[in-house]
Amino acid sequence: MSAEAPAKLTHNEEIKAAIPTLAGTIAATFNQPANDHFSDDDNQFLKFHGSYQQDDRDLRKTGKKYIMMIRGRIPGGIMTAKQYGVFDSLATQYGNNTLRITTRQSIQFHGVVMAGLQPLVKKINECLLSTLAACGDVNRNVMAPVTPAYTKAREQVYADAHKVAMALAPQTKAYHSIWIDGVQLDNDAAENKNFVDPLYGQTYLPRKFKIAFAIPPVNDMDLFTNCLGFIAVVENDQLIGYNLCVGGGMGRSHGNNATYARLADVIGFFTPDKIVEVAKAVLTIHRDFGDRTDRKHARLKYVVAERGIPFIQAEVNKRAGLTLAPNAPYTFTTTSDLLGWRKAVDGSWFCGLFVSMGRVKDAGGYKMKTGLRHVADAFQKVEFRLTANQNIILANVSEEDKHPINMLLAAYGVKTENQTTVLHAASMACPSLPTCGLGLAESERALPGMVERLAKVLAEVGLPNEEIIIRSTGCPNGCARPYMAEIAFVGKAPGRYQVWLGGDVSGTRLNKVWKDVIKEPELENEFRPVFTRFAKERHAGERFGDWCQRVFLKEQTAATN
């Protein structure tokens, strides 16, 4: 009997091998004024450069209007006031006049047409930030805590995150050639055809790779949803090391049980001096063992789940040149941001600003985009810090600048205290329609209204100020980390959502499917009986997600068995 033929590589693997510089024909395409979109292959290469080709789905009935989404790479989510001002100007000049804070501490531009793509990316680089590896089969934006209220060790953790981000950046010269010089590389030249990235190799990773740092007890990064996580171990404000977490990920597909959300495993402790070696070790495990024949099965979480923790530990030890120690004790208690004015550990002030759905915009009397731009222009020492909950922190504020910043923001309708309800503050959504090509249902545009409707039902049952973590995505890929929420709406079709219940406030537990489909108009009728029971049956102080796991979801499981 002949041996079974090896599985065929995906098309993405073939084009990466053919053009390992990732140049495609991107520059040649945008240098032709008549072109309004890229080829399918170039669309895949574009992702490595930080951009997705999309179209405005609201306009499809009258014809396709191609638009680009561009995402910055902003390690740890920290920007200077000048850099933020540059991003604000670019959104006005080339985008749809909004800035979208992502769930990975970055900023996305939406609605950019082809003619604006190269100048926008070039100006991001000129302000000393980048878009390289913000998307694509490489390490994405590295996340790290930005709230300066808890420990001085945060500065060292951020420094380590930045170090990892730089060490894991791809080295292709195509990025500079395309976006800075506007020049198309010759893909047939020997040096380009035979290019091999010193870390990633010739075909990079099988899929995307995500890294986050967190400092207990605050899990504001949703650390366990990442391929690679570092839990800082801090004693007396000194960083003594990290617990290593591997194998998390949110992406799944409807109707495909071989795909699933998974939380990372904590597999050992190491000292900070080995941070880059450990990061490279885990990334190269994904590079060498990830599935290159099925992109739905290509994430590191499947390698960890199928090969087991002992295998991963042994590979990390070998590749990083160390021996992982037993896990250090840690406890997470919250995933929330601090809103309003607070004292930082260094004595300065910072202000957490709620940004609904992460969309910085001007709308009616609420002109957050304009207000923040004026802050950036007038207070150059202020840092703009992006949170994983899609909010903004204004940090490094002096005592004398607090009042002027308050007055400036108030002039544009932006509050610094009592900014929103607890239910809205705990909500998060992906953009979905009209820009994302994967969206099956509304998300960003629908969730605020859905939250308001749920708030009214909670008030009806005597819980008017109850905090519940609510998240929405337009498809099952999980960009807003829905499978960690106490209530999650995952789009299945226009106006129809799969509903998941039972996540926890510490970001350490996955939720479970409650209903495969509910119709959006039936939202109140679906949740009223559940909230009524919760109000009557909860233990003192018990959260909705915990009650669901303790009582409601167990009943649902028993009823279906």
* Active site members: 71, 140, 208, 210, 430, 436, 475, 479
Q: Give the pair of three-digit tokens for residue 432.
A: 């979905």
- To the nearest 10 degrees (0 to 180), the angle between helices 399-411 and 368-378 is 150
Show Cβ contacts of residue 147 under 8 Å, excluding neighbours closer than 6 positions.
Answer: 154, 218, 220, 337, 338, 350, 352, 385, 387, 393
Residue 113, judged by CB atoms within 10 A of its CB (0-12, 13-18, 19+), counts as middle
Parallel, antiparallel, or unpaired for β 392-397 and 383-386? antiparallel
Distance set, CA 508 to CA 334, 468, 486, 504, 511 (Å): 10, 15, 12, 7, 10
CA-CA distance, 166 to 279, in Å (whole number)?
Answer: 11
302 vs 310: CA distance, rounded Å? 15
The amino acid sitting at 435 is: T
How many CB atoms within 10 Å of residue 366? 15
Q: Find, among 112, 109, 88, 86, the residue nearest to 30 by Cα.
A: 112
In whole angstroms, how far apart are CA 370 and each of 360, 366, 392? 9, 9, 14
Name every residue whose Cβ is closer than 8 Å to that of residue 73 and which is 6 or more positions away in sequence.
50, 106, 129, 130, 131, 132, 133, 134, 141, 165
